[in-house]
Amino acid sequence: MSIYAMSDLHLAISDPDKTMEVFGNGWDNYMQRIKENCEAVLKEGDTLLMPGDISWVMYLKDGYEDFKFINDLPGKKIIGRGNHDYYWTTAKKLRDKFSEWGFDSLEIVRNNCIPVEDCLVTGTRGWKFPWDDDFSSEDRKILDRELIRIGLCARALADGDPEHRYRHILMLHYPPLSKDHEVTEFTEVIEKYDIDLCIYGHLHGRSHLKAFEGKRDGEGPLYRCVSGDFLKFKPLEIGRFETF
């Protein structure tokens, strides 16, 4: 049984007018590629971590086809929130709706801690930084809330495994490092709590050049970008790296 990761599926089965194929060849037939690649790689008993931007639907009630698509993929799926997941109001409402639909392979991560194999998984959305374009006073409020949430995530890992016997994984949607791959308020928390692996998405197209993968200064937490188009829509196995 293995752990994989892939974010930013941007499914548009429920709303075909929002397909990502308009953004160039890298997105050609992407939903079929996701299905084929996941079915080729994942097995029952595996887990797929999905840190955000799952579906384009605005309201959860309209998302049946998108979430059925995910539920039907092999293995368990752990879903986090992205900036385009407009359907996401509360984790409880998602869990209730998935239960109503009979989607029993989907779990929600939201400041909580979920055991997976020899790992503990937590997650939150993250947000843009003050040096990003169009950063506003409202963005500052959201960023401050997300800093609180990442603290809750880190403490959930620490409380769930005080002796750090398991590998600690943090799912974020936004990259936690600066555009120059320097320390931020997010990485300070990640490094303070000795999180082993941070996976993130959000980056597309030319923004892939901003992705940081590896360990800052060769030590500390491992960072991996798992945006769907960055991975060419093939889930990344994250539990087999010698450095992890």
**Cα separation of the two ends of the chain:** 17
How are beta strands 222-225 and 214-215 bridged, if at all?
Answer: antiparallel
Q: CB-based contacts of 10: which residues, under 8 Å, 6+ apart?
A: 18, 20, 30, 53, 54, 55, 56, 84, 228
Q: Flag the least confident range among 101-115, 202-216, 223-237.
A: 202-216
Alpha carbons within 13 angstroms on the beta-carbon side of residue 143 total: 17
pLDDT tens-place string over residues 47-105: 999 999 999 999 999 999 999 999 999 999 999 999 999 999 999 999 999 999 999 99
Mean model confidence pLDDT for the chain: 93
Domains within the chain, CATH numbers bracketed:
3-237 (3.60.21.10)
Q: Are 183 and 136 in contact (CB under 8 A)?
A: no
Residue-level length of the chain: 244
pLDDT of residue 132: 87
pLDDT digits (tens, 9 = 90+) for 8-28: 999 999 888 888 887 777 899
Look at the block and give the residue holding tokens 């960055």.
230
Choose the weakest-confidence range: 12-21, 116-125, 149-158: 12-21
Phi-psi domain of 149 (left: phi exceeds 0; alpha: psi -120 through 50; beta: other): alpha
Q: Which residue has the tokens 């993130």?
A: 200
pLDDT-based confidence at 241, cuts 50/70/90?
Answer: low
